[in-house]
Homo-oligomer: A and B are copies of this chain.
């Protein structure tokens, strides 16, 4: 059996699972952004026909999961296990969405890093032979997140320049032990990094050092340079965090600019959409990955992508208590080529 551990922090998936289905459902604002064409379904009703924001989020999740299953050409009963999470208290967005699926369930909380965390664990479960097919599903909804983390929408709270806009979106990925790719080849789970930032309206600054830590260790573990990837994409550092990440690498003498982008910067137009520092939320990196990025990989534009989703692990309680924001970044390497033999 090929080595499963590489360097200090990276896991190599020698039977690299294949992404046989991926889909996303987003809201109206996301559909109006520059990536609008890449999303599978755009819902213009923020309530998704439901009575509450939370149930709207759950309905969006069910839709994304159903679309991913249809693309994969399999049924719910063919999925060995689900890895799911969202931003809501007790993760009710995904748990309520998939409670009738009849699929063994692992609930996760990685804040905005959850798409990478769920994809990583689903990939390990398939690579290790514990699951035939596994699914990774995450979501966020602007309205449910605002009242959860900040203020009721009716309050009309003013947003700071460093604030990010929570994406209304859900992404789902189905993995299989066989398939034509793209393949999940490596996983680098992240260490928690707390840079001492206490401003919950500046999550980009809080999360950038975690992204730096994980991406740097991933590259070191695999003896790679940033340019060995066609794209290194962070979850949702936004404009503030993205600049800090670039500066942190520059201090090491490493330029990542040429191949670096951020889902939070990609999903909205900085000129035309009033989102301040960019998009955020589990649904941000989830919908950009399962729409734009994987579409481009399937179309041959990119062969090798490092998907490094970032999460700020604070809660409103910890913020009110004046605590700083612990952050985490989980990186997943995705390639249109299966991994080299014996690696």
Are A316 and B89 touching (Cβ within 8 A)? Answer: yes
User: Is A341 in the interface zone, CB < 8 Å from B?
Assistant: no
Q: A95-B326, A99-B326, A104-B190 given as contacts; is B121 within 8 A of A130 (CB)?
A: no
A88 to B247, CA, bound (A): 35
Q: Total interface residues on A, using CB and 8 Å?
A: 64
Task: Report A212 CB to chain B, min CB distance, Å.
Answer: 15
Stretch from A29-37, A41-49, A108-116, A301-309 that touches the partner: A108-116
Checking B103, B128, B323 against A124 with a beta-carbon cut-off of 8 angstroms, the contacting residue is: B128
Q: Mask for A69-95, Cβ within 8 A of B = 1, else 0?
A: 000000000001100010111111001
User: Is A100 in the interface zone, CB < 8 Å from B?
Assistant: yes
Stretch from A3-11, A229-237, A285-293 that touches the partner: A3-11
Q: Which residue of B lies closest to A193 (CB)?
A: B99
Are B89 and A9 touching (Cβ within 8 A)? Answer: no
Checking B96, B109, B189 against A91 with a beta-carbon cut-off of 8 angstroms, the contacting residue is: B109
Copies of this chain, tallied across the complex: 2
A328 to B81, CA, bound (A): 13
4 nearest interchain CB pairs? Answer: A128-B128, A90-B315, A4-B129, A104-B189
- Can you offer 26 A-B residue contacts whose CB atoms are under 8 A? A1-B129, A3-B129, A5-B131, A52-B321, A81-B189, A88-B317, A89-B315, A89-B317, A90-B313, A90-B315, A92-B318, A95-B326, A98-B192, A99-B192, A99-B313, A103-B191, A104-B191, A105-B189, A105-B192, A108-B108, A121-B121, A124-B124, A124-B128, A127-B128, A128-B129, A128-B130
Which residue numbers of A lie inside 8 Å of B, CB to CB? 1, 3-5, 9, 11, 51-52, 54-55, 80-81, 85, 87-92, 95-96, 98-111, 117, 120-121, 124-125, 127-132, 187-192, 194, 311, 313-318, 321, 323, 326, 328
